[in-house]
Structure 1
Amino acid sequence: MKMIYGLIDMQSFYASCEVAARPEYACWRTEEDSMSDPPLVVAGDPERRSGIVLAATPTAKAKGVANAMTLGEALGMADNLIVVKPRMELYIETSVRIQQVVQTMFPLYEQFSVDEAFFSFPSPSHLFPDPVEAAQELKGTIWDLFRIRCRIGLAPNKWLAKMTNKLAKKDPSGVVWWTEEDIETKLHPLSVFEMWGLKKRAQVLHDFFGARTIGDVAQIPLYDLQHKFGVWGIVIHRWSHGEDHSLINPDSYDAPHKGISHRTTLPRDFYKRDEVAVVIRELLDEVCRRTRVQGQKGRRVGLSLTYANLKGGFSKARTLTTMSDQSKELYPHLMALLDRWWDKSGVRAVSVSLDQLEASSTLQLDLFEDRTKLRELTRTVDEIKSRFGETSIMRAASLKQAGQLLARSKKIGGHFR
């Protein structure tokens, strides 16, 4: 008996949550016609007409509105656009309930993101005699319970399910199923840029190897792919042949992190080094706290800046000689990256990361500093924040005009509750 893998993805999730939560739109919305939704976008600050578009209904997208577009640009494309603030509590609560429904109907399940989940089931079987009917039942249940549309891709493995899910978004039925027999006839004719997960590597396959389709990639010798991409060459070779050996992992969200990052978008462009430094320190404190909670330490610290209008910037990292989970030790390296790569353009977003994480089972001693005392101090601070909130104890610099901690503490996922 073979296993079938599915990937379910909610359509325009944040925007769909907002439309579904507003009874005034219920009378004309239908599951089959996504254009029955109003032209609504979820964006930063409707009153100030600022921020970026986080999500848009299909009706809004049909007018040219796109995710990550500035709200000003979006309003210029559709004068009847409905703009609402993000409500992260609503989206997270809805996500949890939808994930529970998927898991109830398909117990072999793995959450993939806030609005996506993998699942798997045996077919043919008594419970699932028709895979497409099973997917349609899940799709209909999501609509009946939440008034949110979804798309489902079915395939012999997880990677192909991701590929069929992309096609399901354009299919009227919302469900696409491939078998092994469809690899040559349906997968291989697709453009190399349609290969999920490759990112910039797709351009290399096109420019360096002359590959125009996934079928062209399948003809490239494995040795050549390994020589160009290293271990990734093996992955690309398998994907191009429709192969993926990864299994459903129900505990994927509980697995140790390989890297931890934190990002914030600033209310205005920051031009002063001292202002940017305050934000970097705040983000680093949070990254280190989360790292310690996971019982890990990191070896590589990274800094990313995005410039004015959320365009341009840089992303750089530095690998250290020792592992650390202490903001005091990592902060100088981040400032060195700032001084080396920042061209003094206005900064609109900052991201700090710590990766190459490993279990923090040992404490490396230092001749010039009492690391045991530093560890006990941070443990005490972590405990206070855990019990009384992240603003219960903070650096004095966060009270400056550039500080973002107080504002961020009122948000979930970087957005208002």
Structure 2
Amino acid sequence: MDYSIYPRNDILCIDMRSFYASVEAMKLGLDPMDTMLAVVGDLNRSGSIVLAASPRLKEKYGISNVSRYFEMPNDPEIHIVPARMADYLHVSLEITKLLKNYAPDEAIHQYSIDEVWITVNGLQRIFGNRYEIARKIKAEILDNFGLTASIGIGDNKFLAKVVMDLHSKKHGIAECTYEDVEEKLWPFPVEKIWGIGSRMKRNLNRMGIVTLGQLARYDFQQIKKRFGIIGEQLYWHAWGIDLSPIYGDFTKNEQKGYGHGISLLRDYTKKEVETCILDLCEEVCRRARTANKAGKTIHLGISYAKETAGGFSRSHSIERPTNVTMDMYKICMQLFHKFYDGKSHLRHVYVTLGNLYEHEDIQLDLFEDRVKKNNIGYVMDAIRDKYGSTAILRASSYTDAGIIMERSKKIGGHQA
């Protein structure tokens, strides 16, 4: 491979190790790397997921972010704490502020709450080479927040991310240039590589591709024919090539639709789910109105409780775009009554408003006062914006089946 034709940049991928657990350990005055601590989504539910486990807890008991609360060993040394999403968001924002001391906003790409790319091109005279910059950032994060960061350094985003995943968790900082790909990446199984999930792993394994090196040496045309554009990307990633942008506003993406869903904490009956669907429609339409959008395709997804399993996922398109809560709710209820089996309890509900149009493009109906219906929604939104999300609600939201009151106390589905 002739790498001379591809751009070389100085990219760092920074990951906060066991971020939630580390923040909680620091709040308790404990060493995040030496303490056994688990962050649990809901301490009142034995089946609640473990959102984060400290490195020592992972090492000793194998607890990870796919474990459940009831699987926690009975060890008095283990600290079990509830998730506090507002605290994690606050620390994440403060870390990003720290990074702005090294690079401008357009060079920082926040990938998740605990992971970020930063481009440090041209900063050698100020901070040293890219390895020295990584070392300084790692030390500053530890000094200011007590948190341990793993940092990958690469010629592009992909190399920085993958070498961080594969090597820096052990060594703290790891670096990979184009010339290092064969040695540092090719020996690893394909499922260890960022962007390759379990389904793609099975497909590649059936083709005799087990390691990244085997993927790189496979016939390009066959990979492209089998997997299309995704296959092309995988092939070039196997050679360490990634042409994704390194500067810009990485947060602006065209909105395809607005969706909202919930995994219910208990089995819901048919009547209770009707209330839940109304609350979800209210939130989806509020978000659409805020963006001055309306949609023509309404989707409802339902999952049943474990004893019956199954469920359904159906959509319906309407003639005129809408962002009126009761319009969307009416369609959702038509789908629900048509496809619900009539007996199963329900545990997951999801609604989506898609096929979006600008609100100004909505045609008025001579026989229906749509202006008044739209204005009601906007007035309710204005009240909530000024006085809080629960300042004005439908009466059904105050019942046991309503979800808005409880969700207003959470961030990302977890306690704030």
Provide the TM-score with structure 1 as the length reference.
0.85
Which secondary structure does the structure 2 equivalent of 1:152 belong to? strand
CA distance in structure 2 between the aligned counterparts of 1:109 and 1:231, rounded to whole angstroms? 27
Query: Residue in 1 aligned with 2:185?
Result: 187
**Cα distance in structure 1, aligned partners of 2:280 and 2:245:** 34
- Distance in 2 separating the partners of 1:228 and 1:337: 36
Residue identity in the other structure for 2:89 = I
What SS is found at the alignment partner of 2:150?
Answer: strand
Q: One-letter code of the match for 1:380?
A: V
Establish whether residue 42 from structure 1 lines up as the match of residue 39 from structure 2.
yes
Residue of structure 2 in register with 1:22 after alignment: 28
1:341 and 1:274, CA in 2 relative to 1: closer, same or farther beyond 3 A? Answer: closer
Distance 2:221 2:93 in 1: 44
Provide the rounded CA distance (Å) in 2 between the counterparts of 1:68 and 1:379.
Answer: 41
Equivalent position of 2:399 in the other structure: 400
Look up the match of 2:3: none
In the alignment, residue 5 of structure 1 is paired with which amino acid? I
SS class of match (1:153): strand
Structure 1 residue aligned with 2:255:
257
Instruction: Name whichever of 223-232 and 127-136 sits farther off.
Output: 223-232
Matches within 5 A, 1:223-372: 223-270=221-268, 272-298=269-295, 300-305=297-302, 316=313, 318=315, 320=317, 323-335=321-333, 338=336, 340=339, 346-355=345-354, 357=356, 359-366=358-365, 369-372=368-371
Moved over 6 A (4+): 309-312
Moved more, 59-68 or 2-11: 59-68
**3-state secondary structure, aligned to 1:126:** helix
Quick one: distance in 1 between partners of 2:309 and 2:11? 39
Give the Cα separation in 2 of the matches to 1:382 and 1:171.
Answer: 49
AA in 2 matched with 1:164: V
Aligned partner of 1:166 in structure 2 is: 165
Cα 1:46/1:362, change in 2 over 3 Å: same
Query: Cα deviation per residue 1:58-94 (whole Å; 9 max; x = unaligned)?
Result: 12222122214321222x4645421112222211111
Are the equivalent residues in 2 in contact too, given 1:123–1:129 (CA < 8 A)? no
Residue number among 202, 210, 213 corresponding to 2:211 in the alignment:
213
Q: Does 1:131 align with 2:137?
A: no
Return the letter of the residue paired with 2:391. S
Query: Alpha-carbon deviation of 1:19?
Result: 0.6
1:222 touches 1:237 (CA, 8 Å); kept in 2? yes
Q: Is the 8 A contact 1:151 1:168 kept in 2?
A: no
Note the aligned Cα RMSD (angstroms): 3.1
- Alignment match, 1:382: 381
- 1:171 partner SS: helix
Q: Distance in 2 between matches of 1:356 and 1:206?
A: 34
For 1:7 and 1:131, locate their aligned partners in 2 and report how far apart those are by CA, in whole Å: 11
Which shifted more, 403-412 or 219-228? 219-228
Distance 1:47 1:341, change over 3 A: closer
Opposite residue 166 of structure 2, the aligned amino acid is L
- Paired with 2:52 and 2:363, the residues of 1 have a C-alpha distance of 46
What is the SS of the residue equivalent to 1:266? strand
Query: Percentage identity across aligned positions?
Result: 33
**How many Å separate the matches in 2 of 1:126 and 1:358?**
50
State whether residues 316 and 337 of structure 1, in contact with CA within 8 Å, keep that contact through their aligned partners in structure 2: no
CA contact (8 A) 1:5 1:118 kept: yes
Q: Would the aligned equivalents of 2:185 and 2:213 in 1 still touch at CA under 8 Å?
A: yes
Query: 1:382–1:340: structure 2 CA closer, same or farther, 3 Å change rule?
Result: same
Q: Aligned residue for 1:117? A: 116
Deviation per residue, 1:198-219 (Å, 9 max, x gap) = 3255235324433212233234
Partner of 1:153: 152
1:362-407 deviations in Å (ceiling 9; x for gaps): 2144566443333222222211211122222222221221111111
Contact 2:13 2:115 in 1 (8 A): yes
SS in 2 for 1:320: strand
Q: 2 CA distance for matches of 1:208 and 1:162? A: 26
Partner AA of 1:229 in structure 2: F
> Is the Cα–Cα contact under 8 Å of residues 87 and 415 in structure 1 kept in the other structure?
yes
1:289 shift after superposition: 1.3
Contact kept in structure 1, 2:12 and 2:119, CA below 8 Å: yes
Assess, with a 3 A threshold, how the Cα gap between structure 1 residues 366 and 88 changes in structure 2: closer, same or farther.
same
Q: In 2 relative to 1, CA 176–60 (structure 1 residues): closer, same or farther, beyond 3 Å?
A: same
Aligned counterpart in structure 2 of residue 54 of structure 1, from 51, 62, 76: 51
Residue number in structure 1 paired with 2:413: 414
Q: 2:70 aligns with which of 69, 72, 76?
A: 72
Q: Note the C-alpha offset of 1:44.
A: 3.4
Query: Which position in structure 2 is the counterpart of 1:13?
Result: 19
1:105 counterpart SS class: coil
> How far apart are 1:16 and its partner, in Å?
1.0
